[in-house]
Structure 1
């Protein structure tokens, strides 16, 4: 990969991560509809702030103009547009370097395709008035873009020859964390973060909320009950509780992976374990402290970081079958890798 492609890729990774955090901030500030139209704001390419502009916008859209929320939403759109321009340049550079970098042509173009789809979800988020399924899809799109960039970055790094095939456990861990992020988006888009007002109990009970089965129905993704009414507290508590069950599964799987990697890649395993325990602690603290803004943002960013570290390691790790270990060339690679890890681990 050329120096230009690598620098553009690093910039895109940082920009995407920060943009996702900014999007979470906009949602948590209830500013997702700070501009009720798209791509402008009350018919302008910036938030109207002159008295006659505000008066005209209120008459035309039939609602009061909140300038503060409008600017939060528009700053997010400006940043997203800038990322779109960056993705055009990155995809062009990756396409040009695809053979030298060993990239699949589709992988070189995938970031651009994902950002286009993400832009569509951004539009639908506004035009469909924050429909939970669309808001969750917007979150998934952002995570997909970030993971795509990480995969490209990891594929151009030196492989890890571990001497053990942990691909199955790594894959399960990635899928579990990705599923948990989707559940977290579902909780957030339905404003169910405080539906269970205690931990570990939910609604002063150890039992599963009665609305768990009903909350799994496909029409719940629209944020409505079967009769078209809004979801009640029982449904929201069920959605929240499902997220807690997912966290338990993630804890078991990722801790198992950390245990298996502790002697093979101690620094990576320590970082992964730290992010996992921090994310669990942030989730509990959000419930106990009433979902303060900085903790909710940290929980969102921590989820992206945890999934990112998992995906990065999964791509870099080279699974080796037992039969392959008997080959001298492969065995020497494993020995050299482990010697390097031991040397780095012994340094202060």
Structure 2
């Protein structure tokens, strides 16, 4: 909006507005705008959530130390979504289709989480959408994102080839090329790509959701992951850096740097109120939206295989739940961890909540730094 007004419309008359053409300038200001929005309207959102008695329900089977958190305002993810989307609308080039794709994906995943949280609040219990319904909706949104990318690939603005870490020239294509000669079945060639995108985006959304169990844990890890994505998005769209790092250059995705900067700023702003002891929880509306955003950006910039390192803590948390459930079902009730997700395991081992959070943040930073080093290790 501001990019269109100040640069595209007023720049010919006021040369000072030339600065708005620079992506780094707009990314920094988008991040600061998101942070400012979060800090300014955070108290208002918290007061309104308390007024409407939208409080967190704590499971009885969870750690007993968490029972005191019952009633803390939840659904703070609404604040996160506003803090991300408004600065993106203000500072990005809205003629870029990738910007709209990522924003709509974030909004759609946030809507799924909002529905889940709303049902929990109304019924005053820990049962919102059923697991099948929630996962089904996530797959629908992810499939819609994949379909949009297929259209862009057909038009020449996207590639379905994977970028493999540590491999310069091994870039497998996620299409069935051998079926391309069958005209009436040409859409079938994209089925592997669509399935892959569905797994990546829905998986990322659920992984962040599972990590959101301690004050500031998920949002702190999101700051680190979004920061890494900001760097990756910028270099992927930069002609010099992409050539030097031998990345697939995609000029149009560079505009997503503004979105990623907004996600960093919004997350920092939310952490101000979500830090231990938390004044507000993000709820599923926040965790699903953030996970969906991270997964969608990773798919768009062709860093899907790097995502396990960008969001390493999220992946560990999700794997701990999968292993725990698998062990319980296959080994006659035997468990691997004291409790899953993983952060609860360490709590029951005697670690304080603050220690678990801080150490997981450090681990997230190590994972993100490793992800960035792989850019040159090819």
What TM-score do you get using the length of structure 2 for normalisation? 0.30
If asked which structure has higher relative contact order (CA below 8 Å, sep 6+), I would say 2
